[in-house]
């Protein structure tokens, strides 16, 4: 059984009789499930079970709930979701090349993948491929609802099987895909049957092409490929090799220009000094080359030195249409040469990791209108000039911003809100969703005290069988998180725990730690602040920058990174983006483990101690 294939299209078909889905970038996969362990079969007939153990393991875990629906065959795409409309192909591609079980397992832990299911071909052994698309979709949705599996895509959910939701309105879906920089849209005729291995006009793919400006540097006559480059720190870096998209006349014009003005460096190759700029249509960038490049147009309006690495990144990540960035070149962190455009690009890339912590919380920001270390002010109240898409909630006379969406985050970034501070509870409850211990040494020179306090705390939490997470504060300290199950515990109840832990550490190490609130009375000790964890108080959000001189970020860490070599200076905006790309998000399992915490048992033990 080979997957039904998509036909390329320039335009999204309109009118009745079409359904629309987000197009994700990954490995096409048929899931064949007859016994406890399903088989993941690629488009080329290769078994992918070894490559994607997290999907296989999830299926094994839910086998008892789904076995009465077997034999089952589903059609879908294996993806690494970066948001609900976009997947990162580079992680899938890398996984596909891995051979060693331990390496694959590590990657699956840091970059867990999903199987996005868009069709059902067999259920309980009954063939559905010869039935119209809406009927297959209805059966798929019913199956997933009954088994409590996601019936729409949610990148934050740990369920490795998720059914994609079809839409009738292509404009709304396309706009969401554009905002989130997704790969494109799929249009399917409602009357379409599922045809193995066929490419038909009943299933169309429309790509969300980005247009990148490069200068031409080389032509290879042997394969008729042109090479394009951009400037990175005054050095030309090749980013594209292409030949498609040119008309015969355009190709001949370029050929003649290379031969007349270039330097022949070998039998088939001409090198050209930067002089001609062109627009290249592509679907992304793998770090070295533009993906699926096609010539789009000549650009005679710019000079070759304007084709830069920064312009490439911005063109690959266009801002949503409703975000009008002002003063793009304004210096924000001068020591790192980070301008406003770089900051908004950081927010775009980090949004999948930052937004889950901002979502549904009353937001306080610190704005730096003249850049970091300049004049700044706290802002809780939403200004009158905020655009209509900004959601707010009135609490105690303050119109708080609720930053649930990327557009709101980017609008705040354009307002030079550099710091994002959040309460410990969402707006629908007065109970905290996590405990956060703020470990505050007297200065960055005593950061080792924060490391020691964090490690001793982890030992206590491990003893209580509580999962804990750690991040830098973005300043001179560390912050330790304990996710709480549901919305079960009041601040009064959590205070029993936080006060116990902090006072215990002070008793164990009285020369190192203190709970003294007055700075003048602390001496050179680390302050363990359990008072700060309370209703109305806030904490810096994970992945929020700070308005410090060197552009440091409140950065989630792996516990094995918390050692004597750790320093806050390691975690600048560029460094954090590189960490996320190569090592993933250390907080990825925080929400997963939330419901597994045994905090009630711990409280019971502490209350017994208090009675004694």
The DSSP annotation for 89-145 comes to HHHHHHHHH---HHHHHHHHHHS--EEEEEEEEEETTEE-TTS-HHHHHHHHHHHHH
User: Which of the four pLDDT bands, split at 50, 70 and 90, describes residue 593?
Assistant: confident
- Reduced to 3 states (helix: H, G, I; strand: E, B; else coil), residue 404 is coil
User: Which of the four pLDDT bands, split at 50, 70 and 90, describes residue 606?
Assistant: confident
What is the pairing mode between strands 210-220 and 277-282? antiparallel
pLDDT at residue 609 is higher than 90: no
Contact 423, 360 (CB under 8 A): no
Dihedral sign from CA coordinates of 398, 402, 406, 409: positive
Alpha-carbon distance of 52 to 270, in angstroms, equals: 44
Contacts of 13 (CB under 8 A, 6+ apart): 187, 204
For all residues of the chain together, what is the average pLDDT?
Answer: 95
Contact 128, 82 (CB under 8 A): no
Q: List the helix and strand counts (H, then E) for the chain.
A: 15, 35
Question: For residue 303, what are its two tokens?
Answer: 């000079």
Neighbours of 463 (CB within 10 A): 9
% the chain with pLDDT above 70:
100
- CA nearest 88: which of 97, 75, 98, 77? 77
Q: What is the pLDDT of residues 401-428, one digit of tens each?
A: 999 999 999 999 999 999 999 999 999 9
Question: For residue 538, what are its two tokens?
Answer: 């806030």
226 forms beta bridges with 219, 242
Alpha-carbon distance of 317 to 298, in angstroms, equals: 21
Contact 201, 7 (CB under 8 A): yes
User: Which of the four pLDDT bands, split at 50, 70 and 90, describes residue 611?
Assistant: low
What are the extents of the domains in the chain?
5-206, 210-316, 331-423, 434-606
Contacts of 158 (CB under 8 A, 6+ apart): 112, 592
Q: What pLDDT sits at residue 519?
A: 87
Q: What is the mean pLDDT of residues 370-392?
A: 96
Domain 434-606 bears CATH identifier 3.90.920.10:
yes
Helices 447-463 and 491-508 cross at an angle (nearest 10°) of 120
Q: What is the pLDDT of residues 199-217, one digit of tens each?
A: 999 999 999 999 999 999 9
Q: What pLDDT sits at residue 529?
A: 87
In Å, what is the CA distance from 401 to each residue of 244, 362, 404, 541, 546?
47, 6, 9, 15, 19
Q: What pLDDT sits at residue 486?
A: 82
pLDDT at residue 148 is higher than 90: yes
What's the pTM?
A: 0.95
Alpha-carbon distance of 78 to 3, in angstroms, equals: 13
- CA nearest 422: which of 572, 297, 539, 575? 539
Residue 121 burial by Cβ neighbours in a 10 Å radius (0-12, 13-18, 19+):
buried
Q: What is the pLDDT of residues 271-311, one digit of tens each?
A: 999 999 999 999 999 989 999 999 999 999 999 999 999 99
- Reduced to 3 states (helix: H, G, I; strand: E, B; else coil), residue 87 is strand
Phi, psi of 422 (to 5 degrees): -130, 150
Q: What is the mean pLDDT of residues 506-511?
A: 94
Contact 162, 174 (CB under 8 A): no
Alpha-carbon distance of 421 to 441, in angstroms, equals: 20
Q: What pLDDT sits at residue 232?
A: 95
Contact 115, 40 (CB under 8 A): yes
Domain 5-206 bears CATH identifier 3.30.470.30:
yes
In Å, what is the CA distance from 454 to each residue of 429, 447, 460, 479, 505?
29, 11, 10, 8, 10
Question: For residue 474, what are its two tokens?
Answer: 């973005």
23 is catalytic: yes
User: Which of the four pLDDT bands, split at 50, 70 and 90, describes residue 9?
Assistant: very high
Q: What pLDDT sits at residue 610?
A: 65
Q: What pLDDT sits at residue 91?
A: 96
126 forms beta bridges with 123
In Å, what is the CA distance from 117 to each residue of 6, 79, 228, 289?
15, 11, 37, 29
Q: What is the pLDDT of residues 516-567, one digit of tens each?
A: 888 888 889 999 988 889 999 999 999 999 999 999 999 999 999 999 999 9
CATH class, 210-316 region: mainly beta
Contacts of 110 (CB under 8 A, 6+ apart): 583, 584, 585, 588
The active-site residue, picked from 2, 23, 50, 168, is 23
């Amino acid at each position: 059984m080979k997957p039904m294939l998509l036909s390329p299209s320039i335009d999204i078909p309109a009118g009745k009789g079409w359904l629309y889905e987000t197009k994700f970038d990954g490995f096409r996969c048929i899931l064949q499930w007859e016994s406890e362990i399903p088989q993941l079969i690629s488009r080329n007939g290769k078994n992918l079970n070894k490559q994607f153990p997290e999907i296989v393991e999830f299926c094994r875990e839910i086998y008892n709930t789904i076995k009465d629906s077997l034999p089952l065959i589903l059609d879908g795409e294996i993806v690494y979701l970066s948001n609900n409309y976009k997947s990162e192909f580079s992680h899938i591609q890398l996984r596909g090349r891995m051979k060693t079980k331990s390496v694959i397992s590590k990657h699956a832990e840091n970059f867990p993948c999903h199987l996005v299911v868009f069709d059902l071909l067999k259920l309980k052994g009954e063939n559905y491929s010869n039935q119209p698309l809406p009927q297959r979709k209805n059966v798929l949705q019913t199956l997933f609802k009954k088994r409590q599996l996601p019936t729409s895509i949610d990148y934050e959910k740990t369920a490795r099987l998720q059914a994609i939701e079809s839409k009738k309105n292509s404009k709304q879906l396309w706009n969401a895909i554009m905002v989130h920089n997704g790969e494109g849209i799929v249009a399917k005729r409602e009357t379409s049957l599922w045809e193995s291995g066929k490419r038909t006009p009943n299933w169309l793919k429309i790509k969300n092409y980005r247009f990148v400006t490069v200068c031409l540097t080389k032509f290879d006559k042997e394969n008729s490929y042109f090479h394009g480059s951009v400037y990175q720190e005054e050095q030309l870096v090749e980013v594209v090799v292409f030949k498609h998209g040119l008309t015969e006349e355009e190709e001949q014009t370029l050929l003649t220009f290379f031969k007349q003005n270039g330097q022949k460096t070998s039998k088939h190759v001409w090198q050209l000094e930067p002089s001609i700029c062109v627009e290249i249509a592509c679907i992304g960038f793998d770090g070295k080359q533009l993906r699926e490049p096609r010539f789009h147009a000549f650009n005679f309006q710019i000079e070759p030195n304007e084709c830069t690495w920064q312009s490439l990144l911005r063109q690959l990540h266009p801002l949503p249409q409703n975000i009008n960035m002002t003063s793009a070149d304004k210096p924000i962190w001068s020591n790192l040469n980070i301008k406003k455009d770089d900051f908004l690009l950081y927010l775009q890339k980090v949004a999948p990791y930052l937004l889950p912590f901002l979502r549904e919380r009353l937001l306080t920001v610190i704005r730096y209108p003249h850049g970091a270390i300049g004049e700044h002010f706290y802002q809780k109240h939403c200004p009158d000039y905020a655009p209509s898409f900004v959601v707010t909630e009135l609490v105690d006379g303050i119109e708080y911003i609720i930053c649930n969406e990327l557009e709101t985050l980017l609008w705040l970034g354009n307002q030079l809100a550099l710091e994002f501070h959040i309460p410990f509870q969402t707006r629908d409850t007065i109970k905290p969703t996590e405990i956060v211990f703020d470990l505050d040494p007297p200065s960055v020179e005593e950061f080792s005290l924060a490391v020691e306090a964090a490690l001793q705390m982890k030992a206590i939490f491990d003893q209580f069988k509580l999962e804990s997470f750690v991040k830098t504060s973005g300043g001179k300290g560390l912050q330790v998180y304990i996710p709480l199950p549901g919305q079960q515990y009041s601040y009064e109840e959590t205070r029993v725990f936080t006060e116990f832990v902090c006072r215990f550490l002070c008793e164990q190490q009285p020369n190192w730690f203190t709970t003294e609130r007055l700075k003048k009375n602390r001496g050179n000790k680390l302050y363990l602040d359990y008072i700060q964890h309370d209703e109305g108080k806030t904490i810096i959000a994970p992945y929020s920058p700070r308005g410090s001189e060197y552009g440091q970020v409140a950065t989630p860490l792996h516990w094995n990174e918390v050692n004597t070599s750790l320093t806050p200076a390691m975690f600048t905006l560029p460094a954090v983006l590189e960490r996320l790309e190569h090592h993933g998000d250390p907080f990825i399992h925080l929400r997963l483990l939330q419901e597994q915490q045994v905090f009630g048992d711990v409280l019971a033990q502490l209350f017994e101690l208090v009675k004694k």
